[in-house]
Amino acid sequence: MEDRRIKIGLIGLGTVGSGVYKTLESFEEIEIVKIAVKNKNKNRNIQNLDYSLLTEDPYEIVNNPEIDIVCELIGGINPAFELIEKSIKQGKHIVTANKELLAKKGEEIFNFAEKYNKVILYEAAVAGGIPIIMPIKTILAGNKINKLEAILNGTTNYILTKMDTENSSYDEVLKESQTLGYAEADPTSDVEGYDAAYKITTLATLAFKQKIRIEDVYREGITKIRSEDMKAANDLGYKIKLIASAKMDDENCADVRVHPMLIPKNSTLAHINYVTNAVSLTGHPVGHITLSGPGAGEFPTASSVVGDILAIATEIKTTDYPLPMMRCNHNKIAKCINILDTQNKYYLSLNAKNNKGVIGNIGNICAENDISLESIVQKYVCSDNTADITVITETCCEKNMQNAVKAFNESEFINKVNNLIRVQI
């Protein structure tokens, strides 16, 4: 009797790969033929794992003619890019969770896949267990999407939530999150915003149907956020979140960025806490919708990977051109706005001398740079006769705001610019 099971090769058996293996055990129509790992003798937290499936040579998967779908779950550019490209050339479809590869090499690998009539699915690469890629490509395909705002990194959201709820410093919470396994030993990719930047690059490319280049995405991390900023934001009616955003203006120019932002407490994203992720989307005719859920982890991410495997498996032997709606063909490169030319509101924290004329000096510098103030607050004077002053501006040009910051740093009245954070408009 003919074996009609779809044959799978897994490249990577870490957190996500383990979840995929465990999940696929319940699907009789799927067979895992081979699993590539760095060390096949390593003990793994998988009951009944067939160690004979393990290999340290990923080309045993790439070159195996039995395998229909390759799942790349190792991340990074090398060797993932070469393995995917050669797998496609060998006639295999691809499922990946590799956000960095998609952001930096997406156009290249999608064009290569189309050349060989193969499908690349990547639901797990943007928001873990939150289904967003397939909805944008299918059920929301009739919408003109013009705005995305998202929390796409669980590590930074956990850190900011703990800083907010416990009045802890960034360094304290980072150490705790590393102990708990939420943050890597080297947390740079998360805390400096790289991870979120990779994800919003792919998400914006899909939503706007134009290629967003990673080098056009403004990125700023959370390492400068202080517990004092958290308290000040709360007093003003805001929460601080690391927001990945993408907007398309009336002239078809994209503004894509990742940075901390003061979010009004009455907004949905202000209530997305700890490791939860969320994507808010605005378009016509759907209006405004938000999807939230676990953005990482063994089984949430495995859910998206397995969903992609099954989507390919249902069509792989029934059509010569599977999943046409899920293919990427965005050849037009989007024109992106430089961050200096954007319009924003700002939270500005200044440490100033407790002298006459300080508030007037702040107002004068802002006025000279065409910046209007919404509020300015000084609550108390410190023992060293200095005061922290909190300013919220009206909407103004980023270039003007940066010029004002330079002026504050040179002012005889100002000791230090503590922080500058953009405010959600």
Residues catalogued as catalytic: 199
Pick from 239, 153, 235, 201: nearest CA to 336: 201
Residue given tokens 């956990």 in the structure block: 158
* Cα 134 to Cα 296: distance, rounded to the nearest angstrom: 18
Cβ contact 159:169 at 8 Å: no
DSSP letters spanning 202-224: HHHHHHHTSBPPGGGSEE--STT
Helix or strand or coil: residue 392?
strand
Bridge partners of residue 151, in order along the sequence? 278
Helix or strand or coil: residue 287?
strand
DSSP letters spanning 148-167: EEEE--HHHHHHHHHHHHH-
How many C-alpha atoms does 258 have within 13 Å on its Cβ side? Answer: 30
SS3 content of the chain, % helix, strand, coil (to 5): 35, 25, 35
**Phi/psi at 360 (5° precision):** -65, -40
Helix or strand or coil: residue 172?
helix
List the structure tokens of 84.
């995917």
Q: Give the other-Cβ count within 10 Å of 417's Cβ.
A: 16
C-alpha 130: how far from chain center = 12
- CA end-to-end distance (rounded Å), the chain: 63
